[in-house]
Amino acid sequence: MPVPPSSPRRPVVLCILDGVGWGQRDATDAVFVAKTPVLDRLMAEHPHMLLTAHGVAVGLPSDADMGNSEVGHNAMGAGRVIEQGAKLVDAAIESGAIWESASWKQVVRAPTVHFLGLVSDGNVHSHVDHLRALVGRAAQEGVRRIRVHALTDGRDVSERSAASWITPLERELTGLIGPGGQPVDAKIASGGGRMNLTMDRYEADWSMVARGWACHVWGEGRRFTTATEAVRTFYEEDPKVNDQLLPAFVCEQGPLIRAGDSVVFFNFRGDRAIEISRAFTEPWAPPAGPQTQQSAVKFDRAGPLGQAPPQVTYAGMMQYDGDLKIPANFLVDPPLIDQTVGEQLAKAGLRTLAVSETQKFGHVTYFFNGNRSGRFDETLETYTEVPSDVIAFDQRPQMKAAEIVDVAIDSVQSRAFDHVRLNLANGDMVGHTGDFDATVSAMETVDAALGRLAVACQAAGAILLVTADHGNADLMFELDKRGRPVVVDGRARPKTSHTLNPVPFILVDPRREWDLDPSCITPDGEPGPGITHIGATLLHLLDVPIPAGYQRSLVTPTELR
């Protein structure tokens, strides 16, 4: 492909504004309500368009499926549409391939099979229909005792919707019949909110995993007769609590998971599945002292009376880390993503910096690199993690945006890297809390950080690409069929999940040597190509060959327009 006559190559900075979509531009939209003079100016003065970041355009089963951070970073780094976890699991269940896997056949040999994961239809980390299929098949194959450990969502779905899935699931479990018409002993045994128990990521807060382990394995939690009773009681006792943060509950006497049982973690997405998988699979030995940590698991898995953790057959819905083989047993093969942008840059000898805070660090590294933990070339790639605060995101909506941009600015000014990739997580992480005012504050923090980055890129002559992986902060309230906020008890019901909105893509070239390819541009306000096109765009700007099968680049040299 032709490149501008002013080469040698200039640095290209990719700034991902996580969760910042293009919404209705009204009072429901925190991106619109926030004061964002930098974002407004960049869109007014530089070529820009909207990109699709959800549905089939990013490898999800249908256009009703919202995008998410894992899929979004996979899509950008792969440069093409890759069938994602939800679609792969759907296909494996439909074809029956999942039941023929060696891991499944091993799982159903146990006297008790436990299914642990997120119970909702969010289809970001899991889907309740996958759980139903697993439970039903286990009963058909003669498993006589089944236990579900239900993590409530409120993040990828409505904030207080847990009973929508838990109540019918409990009815289905009660009515399970095995071979010969024999009833199956099946029930929900434990649970709690996903942001309180079990689903930590990137080792940001191992205490979440420790609480989940104590609940699911040892039966530590408030006791209820049913999970439905637990959810309703928590709602009544605290009108402000949502499903993300429900306390731990148990529905029978512990310990709940015993030696010789099988455990299936039925989430398909990897980032929030790795730590609990390690807890179930990594070796354990009695601690030599109170400060001793066993293996890489950052809490003691012994029981309340010092019991050793149960030895179980453990399987993930997918293998969550292919490099580290976590876990060794899994039911569905994960997507194979090769020839990623990161690999192409390393082959070309280009220097890369990836930087974000802990909450999104794996997204600009592991997911962007095609679910690969390591570097392609240790001498060319630098990964910088800014530790996240362990505090509710709505209490500190600025998060670590300033510190991340500090690192990016230093790299641009030093000219030490050809490509800089950063993620500012505020729009997504604060948006998930449902707190409108905090999300507005988060967006204003992001805008200020973006302004500093744009000034540094201007001074260095670096090309800046501004985009997002999916929407979230752009719609903060649930809407009715007329597009108006749903009001409950005089209060607009917060929306805590991602959106189906497109995301901005802005090309900021201080020298004006590059422009958007006219054939890619759609009318104002209309979504254009998918974020999968960003991969080819990066390689094009950096004068690196674009692999066959990539989506086309979004840019062209100005002289060719």
3-state secondary structure 481-517: CCCCECEECCEECECCCCECCCEEEEEECCCCCEEEC
Give me the residue label for tokens 């619109």: 32
How far is the C-alpha of 509 from the C-alpha of 457, rounded, in Å?
9
pLDDT at residue number 61: 87
pTM: 0.83
pLDDT at residue number 288: 65
How far is the C-alpha of 532 from the C-alpha of 277, rounded, in Å?
30
How far is the C-alpha of 149 from the C-alpha of 129, rounded, in Å?
15
8 Å CB contact between 554 and 520 = yes
Two tokens, residue 415: 């000219």
**Phi, psi dihedral angles at 186 (to 5 degrees):** -135, 135
Two tokens, residue 254: 């512990």
State whether residue 306 is helix, strand or coil: coil
* Superfamily, domain 15-84+337-560: Alkaline Phosphatase, subunit A (3.40.720.10)
State whether residue 556 is helix, strand or coil: strand
8 Å CB contact between 427 and 17 = yes
Question: Which of 202, 164, 160 minimizes the C-alpha distance to 365?
Answer: 202
- The residues that are catalytic are 69
**Burial group, residue 425, by CB count within 10 angstroms (0-12, 13-18, 19+):** buried
Give me the residue label for tokens 């809390």: 433
pLDDT under 70 in the chain at which residues? 1-8, 287-295, 560-561
8 Å CB contact between 80 and 532 = yes
8 Å CB contact between 287 and 265 = no
Kindly report, residue by residue over 90-138, the tens digit of the pLDDT: 999 999 999 999 999 999 999 999 999 999 999 999 999 999 999 999 9
Q: How many CB atoms lie within 10 A of CB 518?
A: 8
* Helices 37-45 and 436-460: angle between axes, nearest 10 degrees: 50
Kindly report, residue by residue over 124-135, the tens digit of the pLDDT: 999 999 999 999
How far is the C-alpha of 390 from the C-alpha of 69, rounded, in Å?
20
* Helices 533-541 and 69-78: angle between axes, nearest 10 degrees: 40
Q: In this structure, are strands 514-516 and 555-557 parallel, antiparallel, or unpaired? A: antiparallel
pLDDT at residue number 373: 85
Cβ density class 193-225: b for 16+ within 10 Å, e for less = bbbbbbbbbbbbbbebbbbbbbbbbbbbbeebe
How far is the C-alpha of 36 from the C-alpha of 30, rounded, in Å?
10
State whether residue 165 is helix, strand or coil: helix
Question: Which of 449, 548, 557, 428 minimizes the C-alpha distance to 498?
Answer: 428
- Could you give the dihedral angle defined by the CA atoms of residues 244, 248, 251 and 255, in that order, rounded to the nearest 10 degrees? 130
**Phi, psi dihedral angles at 451 (to 5 degrees):** -60, -45
Two tokens, residue 238: 């605290």
Residues carrying CATH 3.40.1450.10, the chain: 100-283+311-332
How far is the C-alpha of 428 from the C-alpha of 430, rounded, in Å?
6
Q: Which residues contact 470 (CB under 8 A, 6 or more apart)?
A: 18, 19, 21, 53, 54, 66, 67, 68, 69, 71, 72, 428, 498, 499, 503
pLDDT at residue number 341: 98
pLDDT at residue number 125: 95
**Half-sphere CA count of 481, side-chain side, radius 13 A:** 0
8 Å CB contact between 174 and 184 = no
CATH fold label, 100-283+311-332: 3.40.1450
8 Å CB contact between 312 and 262 = yes
Q: Residue 64 has what DSSP assignment?
A: T
Count H helices, E strands: the chain? 17, 19
Residues carrying CATH 3.40.720.10, the chain: 15-84+337-560
